[in-house]
Amino acid sequence: MPGHFTFYSDKIENNVAYFSEQETKHAILVLRYKIGDLIEFTSGDGIYYFGKIVEIQKKSFLASVESFKELPQRNFVLAVGILKSSDRMEWLVEKCSEIGVKQLVFLKSQNGERSKINIEKLKKTAIAAMKQSHSAWLMDIQEDSFENAINRNQENKYIAYCNSDIAQSHPLKFGDDSIVFIGPEGDFSLSEIDLAKSHGFQVIGLGSQILRTETAAIVCASWSLS
């Protein structure tokens, strides 16, 4: 029997899970799973399944659902300025997925230096991180403008800012229903800070040292842990 792995199925119907060609290569060709083997999987919607392989085809395989458990998720959202480096964005997606961030929004802001991102590629990174961490929640990845994103309705709203004259000290822990904005490498503009404040955001600092965007995001994500 292979070791402890979690697989991803984007189709589960009538207690049968269907697996893609990529998952088939991993499970059947690499790990040598066979018919009758027990398998663990999720569709990323908060349910973790335990099943048994019942059919193997050339480019897919099927597993029956034997049992399942529902895993809780905190409503924590990170809205992060788009990074110049696609590698750093992938790293950020991976780590936020492992930590358990519900949604990661890439913000188009005034001081951002990049306007386009590959959502589909980042989703594949999130799927791999979900599998690696044995989670049942696939992190939602979006892109949005700063002006639209500030209208989100989380109960606790924070925006990080490097100007210590404006920013308040950071909380030790974010509440369950929270959103945190992290600026791009050029930080948010003062007009964006003022706009966020007018929408009920608390301006916070993250310490005396200037952090990279992705570092600041991970720091905030860690404060969301229970």
76-223 CATH choice from 3.40.50.300, 3.40.50.970, 3.40.1280.10, 3.40.50.11890: 3.40.1280.10
CA distance 149 to 224: 19
Domain made up of 6-70: CATH architecture? Beta Barrel (2.40)
- Name the segment(s) of the chain with CATH classification 3.40.1280.10: 76-223
Top pLDDT among 84 and 30 is at 30
Query: How high does pLDDT run on average in the chain?
Result: 90
- Name the segment(s) of the chain with CATH classification 2.40.240.20: 6-70
Task: Give start and end residues of each alpha helix (H) in the chain.
Answer: 21-24, 86-99, 119-132, 146-149, 190-198, 213-223
Return the minimum-mean-pLDDT range out of 1-5, 142-146, 165-169, 218-222: 165-169
How do residues 136-167 score in pLDDT, each as one tens digit?
999 999 999 999 999 998 999 999 987 666 66
CB count within 10 Å of CB 59 equals 10
Q: Is the pLDDT of residue 168 over 70?
A: no
CB-count exposure of residue 16 (10 Å: 0-12, 13-18, 19+): middle
